[in-house]
Amino acid sequence: MKARYKYRIYPNRVQITKLNQLFGCCRYVWNSTLAHCNELYSDGQKKPSYVDLTKQFITQAKKELVWLKEVASTPLQQSLKDLDQAYKNFFDSCTGKRKGIKVKPPKFKSRKSRQTARFVGGNYKIGQDKIYLPKVGKIKIVWSRKLPSEPSSLTITKDSANRYFASFVVEINPELLPKTNNSIGIDLGISTFATLSNGDKINAPKPLKNNLKKLAKFQRKFAKTELGSKRREKARILIAKLHAKVKDIRTDFLHKLSTDLVKKYDKIVLEDLNVSGMVKNCKLARAISDLGWRQFRTLTEAKCEKYGKEFRTISRWEPTSQKCSNCGFKGGKKELNVREWTCLNCGTFHDRDVNAAVNILNVIQPKTKVEIVEETVVEIPVQLSLFNEVAEGQRSIIFGRGGNVRLASQQILMMCQLALSFSSNLVCLNDGWESRAVSQSSVGRMSRAKSKSSNIRAAYL
């Protein structure tokens, strides 16, 4: 499997000038090619192939534009390859070949946003504390960790805060961590970032919320500056550096949390949240974006694949917050301010987030709890239904919804018999030595499929 290793580089002033020139040439090739393709599309013509675009916007353009010869040719070619791949993804998304979220057509690049240039093959060299780029020179690099193998490509990146990075694409082998035989369900929230099915709660640092006052101060200064002035650029860099700091704090927290979970548990279960739709809520958009739910899922899934662990998701429509994790009773939808509730069926007191996390895990690993008279609990991996065999002569009550079987005393059995005698919508079915009390509307359904039992009470005599 492939992975990307990212490092910080520190070019000097001359190298910064050359890198900015390289970024500008790559941006020019991308924008001019994109404008040409849009013009052909408006005239009803097809997009030219990658070879034709290379001849027109690199080979022939170098004859007219001398400054294109001052930079390496490989990043210019890779820029056209990226554009060709962007168009392919867009067309495949339109025709249905590419699954998932619809891909938008490629856009023009701006000099104020993130800049990239990619090198492949033998155009670059890796040294002990420096990397060599053609027509740029040897740039200082800080190796925070070793490269596991020979990289296949090198991408130089400049972010909005004027920081430079080098990222390598390498081939790695999965590392199998020792098995722990533990599984965990995770419920993501706003007040508490993650609630685990074992009861643990993890709070997020919320870096954007903690730096809102400083961000507002910098933005007010930026708004008072003149367009094109040096003070405006300094104010812009202050804002960009603050945003970079917020991003780094959030990414560091998500990396550490996902790594810790993957090391402790063999199976991790998450809910498939529609984050892109939830951020459209103007009241919760900033809070959700500050947490990084989608990035946490991406990191956890990638690390599970890397370390040989199992990652599962459940449907977003699963009523995890409405259902009792003890008996399976659905108590209906609850408001967001309701954080604790008591089950009306079994009387169990629940923390809303912990109960949801347990339900998330139970969707993948369902279990049935059997409560015996001596208050001992026996867990049975197979879910019991209404029609499981019971030893002859044993007095018991079976509650419907197939999740909770309770061996009851003589008094409870008499209460069930009284309920049968006073209720007009219940009938008694005799099957050999068994007697069942069910609703009249359920008789026909029970005869067709005995495995379904909803809101049924039966007395075994």
Catalytic residue among 84, 187, 290, 301: 187
**Active site annotation includes 271:** yes
**Active site annotation includes 252:** no
CA dihedral (64, 69, 70, 76) positive or negative: positive
pLDDT of 367: 61
Residue type for position 210:
N
pLDDT of 457: 39
CA dihedral (99, 101, 105, 106) positive or negative: negative
Catalytic residue among 271, 272, 310, 434: 271
For residues 410 and 67, which has the higher predicted lDDT (pLDDT)?
67
pLDDT tens digits, 121-131: 888 999 999 99
E strand intervals along 46-163: 115-120, 125-126, 130-133, 137-142, 153-158
pLDDT of 276: 87
Residue 417 has pLDDT above 90, yes or no: no
Residue 245 has pLDDT above 80, yes or no: yes
Find, among 278, 290, 287, the residue nearest to 254 by Cα.
290
Q: What is the mean pLDDT of the chain?
A: 81
Residue 233, phi then psi, degrees to nearest 5: -70, -40
pLDDT band at 386 (very low <50, low <70, confident <90, very high): very low
Least confident of 83-87, 242-246, 262-266, 370-374: 370-374
What single DSSP character describes residue 104? P
The answer to whether residues 396 and 390 touch, using CB atoms and an 8 Å cutoff, is: yes
Q: Model pTM?
A: 0.74
The answer to whether residues 397 and 457 touch, using CB atoms and an 8 Å cutoff, is: yes
Q: What CA–CA distances, in Å, run from 227 to 114, 246, 340? A: 20, 26, 54
What does the pLDDT average to over 401-420?
41
Q: 82-106: buried (b, 16+ CB within 10 Å) or exposed (e) per residue?
A: ebbebbebbeebeeeeeeeeebeeb
Share of the chain above pLDDT 90, in %: 59
pLDDT tens digits, 170-216: 998 888 888 988 999 999 999 899 999 999 999 999 999 999 999 99
Residue 414 has pLDDT above 60, yes or no: no
The answer to whether residues 396 and 408 touch, using CB atoms and an 8 Å cutoff, is: yes
Catalytic residue among 84, 290, 301, 353: 353
Q: What CA–CA distances, in Å, run from 174 to 7, 171, 305, 311? A: 22, 10, 7, 15
pLDDT of 270: 93
**Active site annotation includes 353:** yes
Tokens of 458: 């039966």
Residue 78 has pLDDT above 50, yes or no: yes
What does the pLDDT average to over 369-382?
39
